[in-house]
Amino acid sequence: FNKYLCRPRRIEIAASLDLTERQVKV
């Protein structure tokens, strides 16, 4: 799992999570 989650991928996932959190918050 760690190997699959590369640094750029992790950042992308973090951005997606942030967007989801914002949607849920709104």
- Which structure tokens are listed for 21? 């959190």
**The pLDDT value given to residue 13:** 82
Can you give the pTM of this predicted structure? Answer: 0.47
- Which structure tokens are listed for 22? 């914002």
The rounded distance, in Å, linking the Cα atoms of 10 and 1 is 11
| Alpha helices (runs of H) in 1-26, residue ranges in sequence order | 7-25
In order along its 26 residues, the chain shows pLDDT tens digits of 556 556 677 788 888 888 888 887 77
- Number of structural domains the chain divides into: 1
The rounded distance, in Å, linking the Cα atoms of 14 and 18 is 6
Which range of residues forms the domain containing residue 15?
Answer: 1-26
What DSSP designation does 5 have? S
- Which residue type is seen at 3? K
**The pLDDT value given to residue 10:** 76
